[in-house]
Amino acid sequence: MSDIDLIYGLHSARAALAFDAARVTEAWLDKRRRDARLQRLREKLRAAGCAMHEVEVRDLRRLVGEVAHQGIVLRYAGAPPQDASDLDDFLDRMVGPPLLLVLDQVQDPHNLGACLRAADGGGVDAVIVPRDRAVGLTPVVRKVAAGAAETMPFFQATNLARCLRELKDRGIWLIGAADEAEQSLYSADLTGPLALVLGAEGKGLRRLTREHCDVLVALPMAGTVESLNVSVATGVTVYEAWRQRHPLNPGAH
């Protein structure tokens, strides 16, 4: 994927302008929409000196297709994902035990966007994904993430198994989520240097990924369904880690 993308929607546009306005190079807006939210974005675009085009809805559809663009499309030269080889430098700069999220072959952009949003809200320090057979930071991911794609450190690993081994060598504990695990998520210690490892939609963790985990945990299921969507499971898992890591001040940042 090119690191220059068209992104769309009010949340994505607002996040790009708030966190990375210099990378917004061009904007197309629905000329017929004059509601307050779009007007505020027009003002931010003018302040950023961005080239703006007032167009018809059909022109927006030509750019991004039949999606919920909400009257705005931006050309955004977003920062590309970082390579996993840069993880050591990133972790060396951290203060305190890291909390990482590893997503094994998540291919649905809506799921990845929702995972990034949950990771951002739950205090995750970085997200790691494999480079192959996994979705990257697409426009849909950025829209669903509602700003988290612009702020969450995002690493792609050419060899995920090797990356996991290197994390273990640094003393980072790998806890994988697996439906068949005997230990509950809620009985696991999630307070130290930690990487939470979750698998793809439907298939879960690959065998090699699972074998690299120090512990496998299951999310208790009280109903008839066997498992949760990966983005929901990510939210549950990340927030349990947050709860354990901030027991006296759950609103801490």
What residues form the annotated binding site for S-adenosyl-L-methionine?
199, 219, 228
Sequence ranges of the binding site: 199, 219, 228
Q: Convert the chain into a string of H (helix), E (strand) and C (coil).
A: CCCCEEEECHHHHHHHHHHHHHHEEEEEEECCCCCHHHHHHHHHHHHCCCEEEEECHHHHHHHHCCCCCCCEEEEECCCCCEEHHHHHHHHHCCCCCCEEEEEECCCCHHHHHHHHHHHHHCCCCEEEEECCCCCCCCHHHHHHHCCHHHHCCEEEECCHHHHHHHHHHCCCEEEEECCCCCEEHHHCCCCCCEEEEEEECCCECCHHHHHHCCEEEECCCCCCCCCCCHHHHHHHHHHHHHHHHCCCCCCCC
